[in-house]
Amino acid sequence: MTDLTSLTIMQAGQKLAAAEMTSVELTRAYLDRIEAVEPQVQAFITITAEQALEQAQQADERRKKGEKGPLLGIPLAYKDVVTTLGVETTCGSRILEGYKPPYTATAVRFLEEAGAVMLGKLNMDEFAMGSSTENSGYKITRNPWDLERVPGGSSGGSAAAVAARMAAGTLGSDTGGSIRQPASLSGVVGLKPAYGRVSRYGLVAYSSSLDQIGPFAHTVEDVALLLEVIAGHDPRDSTSMQTADTGFASSLKQDLKGLRVGVPREFFIEGIEKDVESAVRRAIEKLAELGAAIIEISLPHTQYALPTYYLTATAECSANLARFDGIRYGPREQAGNVLETYRKTRGEMFGAEVKRRIMLGTYALSAGYYDAYYLKAQKIRTLIKRDFDEAFRQVDVIAAPASPTTAFKIGEKVDDPLQMYLNDIFTLSTNLAGICGLSVPCGFDQAGLPIGMQLLGPGFSADRPNAGEALILRAGHAYQHATDWREKTPAL
């Protein structure tokens, strides 16, 4: 008998539609899988088993009444940075322990309306600040391919849950690579949509001009199905674009003939692991075999992406995290007066990385330093965006590594913030430019650890509003079907 947790979302949906199984049976299979492997992987902060079975029963009843849909009855899980009505949302931080939001994030609501089942909330670096999920206030998530290594971050729980077959798909968030980097390190598919494609309503803000919700799954096809549901205009999010978000899955049917793929020389640099570079270059050669035209391009301001990101993101986090004071949310460390209560609560409840970024951002915004740091970073951000605008006049898609390394060992970089920040060197510029990016598995290193190829597409344009995601999904799907990397799974 087929292990139901080995099915893709598309396959599971077909079996549900054909009445070969029920959503309750599928959900029980995932809950059993969670019980079996979660103690090793530690991907979940909250498991909502009772609610999941109730939603599965409702999905089965909806299907009996003739309702259809690719996600009806499909078990998913969500990064603990998106709000869920009545279900604890911690952002991986002790300062929000016990907080149960009075509303649900728009992306989650869209999935609920489509009939998806929520298995639980997933571990993450505290307030999405990190590249390894070691900064969580609750636990360290482990990579299913090697339990002594990290799954990436900050959406490490989202990537690991898919890799370990504890959810058919998941949601994560990407501020500087937090979907694509863990997807690469965990051997799954992860998509960061263009900024404004998916509503940020209910996404607890880290850096408001960079944050974006996106899906994880085993296949590009599944990611496209998830995107079609969560994308769309939301009047409650002023940054949500008013576009007709359809056709992502249908774009997968096209071949790659005539597709122009750019290869940026700045993304193959000193410090990238040889196995990573070799695997990505072989993947680009495969795209050429499938009919794509390979064109070398330059993104000259890439070298400034790291400092630009860490000035922009920390400045915005300094403002966004000011609301967490022990008065309105979560536990409180009581002191003699209000100021001391703030100081004590934030000092004891925030982790070291969150404190570091708040201090960096506050400094960058302070009088006398704003022009020298934050304002200059915004000017360079404009130049980085212009690099991509110019590149996408020459090419349709950009192909590059998603991460300079494969998964590193737990504890290896936690005491060296700069080395940790460098893990996102290939992903940061995408968020600064507001474009979309997809990580697709493209091989393994000599130690058997996954490697991901990153495909980047343009942002919004008036004449082709869906062009970016449709193009990278098309390229990723063609590559995935021409290779067998997706067939390999970790031996838990």
The string of DSSP letters for 95-140 reads GGTT---SS--HHHHHHHHTT-EEEEEE--SGGG--SSS-S-SS--
Residue in the structure block whose two tokens are 């630009």? 308
15 is annotated as an active-site residue: no
End-to-end CA distance of the chain: 19
pLDDT at 225: 97
79 is annotated as an active-site residue: yes
pLDDT at 339: 85
Catalytic member of 93, 131, 154, 207: 154
Catalytic member of 178, 251, 318, 439: 178
Q: Are strands 44-47 and 117-122 parallel, antiparallel or unpaired?
A: antiparallel
In a domain? residue 492: no
Residue 343 shares a structural domain with residue 404: no
Residue 361 shares a structural domain with residue 399: no
pLDDT at 464: 61
Catalytic member of 15, 79, 192, 413: 79
Among 332, 354, 378, the domain boundary falls at 378
Structural domains in the chain (count): 2
In a domain? residue 271: no
**The residue count for the chain:** 492
User: Which spans in 273-365 are helix H?
Assistant: 274-289, 305-320, 338-349, 352-365
pLDDT at 246: 63
pLDDT at 244: 61
User: How many Å apart are CA 415 and CA 406, to the nearest integer?
Assistant: 19
Among 344, 378, 412, the domain boundary falls at 378
Among 355, 378, 401, the domain boundary falls at 378
**DSSP letter string, 343-358:** HHHHHHHS-HHHHHHH
Q: Which domain holds residue 104?
A: 4-266+280-298+389-487
274 is annotated as an active-site residue: no
Phi, psi of 297 (to 5 degrees): -130, 175
pLDDT at 334: 82
Residue 333 shares a structural domain with residue 459: no
Asked if 93 and 45 touch (Cβ cutoff 8 Å), the reply is no
Residue 340 shares a structural domain with residue 407: no
Residue 99 shares a structural domain with residue 199: yes
Q: Can you list the residues of the chain whose pLDDT is less than 70?
A: 1, 244-246, 461-466
User: How many Å apart are CA 189 and CA 87, to the nearest integer?
Assistant: 27
Q: To 5 degrees, how large is the angle CA 328–CA 329–CA 333?
A: 90
- Copy the structure tokens of residue 294: 């390979």
Residue 285 shares a structural domain with residue 320: no
Could you tell me the pTM of the whole model?
0.96
User: How many Å apart are CA 348 and CA 369, to the nearest integer?
Assistant: 28
In a domain? residue 132: yes
User: How many Å apart are CA 189 and CA 476, to the nearest integer?
Assistant: 9
CATH label of the domain that carries residue 13: 3.90.1300.10
